[in-house]
């Protein structure tokens, strides 16, 4: 059994696609906890429309902070196994079944839209993450598998980090547990951030943040617009 935690902020256009994917899962022993940061759009309405199709709970956060929202989600979770997903991802019908066998780790991240260079960028990220996962593991918040014991050991996501909070969470957690990079499974993500902030600027920021952390163990202070 697994608790799926999804932080949202103005995700009316995207979250319904993910929830539809969850409705189609072959493994049904899971719950969904959506923690909304007081969205200005119809996110809450979309989530509530799935109340008869999924075991789903909508929780409001007074703070618009992805780490705060994920931590709130864990506090509401009934099951030990945790799956953190971003609201704009798409997953296959066997995804939850496959993730239920992982204690701590991530999967391939691929774009479901975009041009060839967007796909090439994500493939590069996947290769780097795979090569490093036994030495210095990384994961993007789009998909992180964890568990309550591990989450408690590291006191959850650091709510003061504004960018790369996912890197930090994985790094601290890896001191207590082995990390799995599941190369056979994947989530598909939107490239809307690339479109909103510019592809070159976003790629440059991601790579700069990655290598800065890789060589310094520190995190860039960036307001990424959550």
pLDDT in tens, 10-27: 999 999 999 999 999 999
- pLDDT value of residue 194: 65
- pLDDT value of residue 205: 74
- pLDDT value of residue 101: 87
Strand segments, DSSP code E, in the chain are 2-8, 30-36, 56-60, 81-85, 89-90, 105-111, 143-147, 180-189
- pLDDT value of residue 34: 99
> In the sheet where 81-85 sits, what is the strand order?
56-60, 30-36, 2-8, 81-85, 143-147, 105-111, 180-189, 89-90
In this structure, the chain runs to a length of 226
- pLDDT value of residue 199: 66
**Distance, CA of 66 to CA of 160 (rounded, Å):** 11
- pLDDT value of residue 210: 72
Structure pTM? 0.89
| Among 85, 81, 78, CA closest to 34 | 85
- pLDDT value of residue 138: 86
- pLDDT value of residue 225: 55
Domains of the chain by start residue, with CATH: 2-192 (3.90.550.10)
Strand segments, DSSP code E, in 1-91 are 2-8, 30-36, 56-60, 81-85, 89-90
Quick one: CA torsion of 46, 48, 51, 52, rounded to 10 degrees? -70
**pLDDT < 50 stretches in the chain:** none
């Amino acid at each position: 059994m697994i608790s799926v935690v999804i932080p949202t902020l103005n995700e009316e256009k995207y979250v319904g696609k993910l929830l539809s994917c969850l409705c189609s899962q072959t493994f049904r022993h899971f719950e969904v906890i959506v923690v909304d940061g007081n969205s200005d759009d119809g996110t809450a309405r979309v989530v509530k429309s799935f109340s008869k199709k999924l075991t789903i709970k909508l929780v409001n956060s007074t703070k618009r902070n992805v780490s705060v929202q994920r931590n709130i989600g864990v506090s509401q979770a009934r099951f030990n196994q945790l799956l953190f997903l971003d609201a704009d991802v798409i997953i296959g019908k066997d995804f939850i079944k496959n993730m239920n066998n992982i204690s701590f780790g991530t999967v391939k991240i691929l774009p479901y839209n975009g041009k060839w260079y967007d796909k090439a960028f994500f493939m590069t990220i996947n290769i780097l993450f795979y090569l490093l996962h036994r030495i210095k593991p990384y994961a993007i918040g789009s998909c992180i598998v964890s568990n309550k014991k591990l989450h408690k050991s590291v006191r959850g996501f650091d709510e003061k980090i504004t960018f790369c909070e996912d890197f930090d969470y994985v790094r601290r957690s890896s001191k207590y547990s082995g990390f799995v990079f599941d190369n056979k499974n994947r989530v598909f993500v939107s490239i809307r951030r690339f479109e909103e902030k510019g592809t070159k600027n976003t790629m440059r920021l991601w790579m700069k943040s990655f290598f800065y952390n890789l060589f310094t163990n520190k995190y860039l202070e960036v307001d990424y617009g959550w």
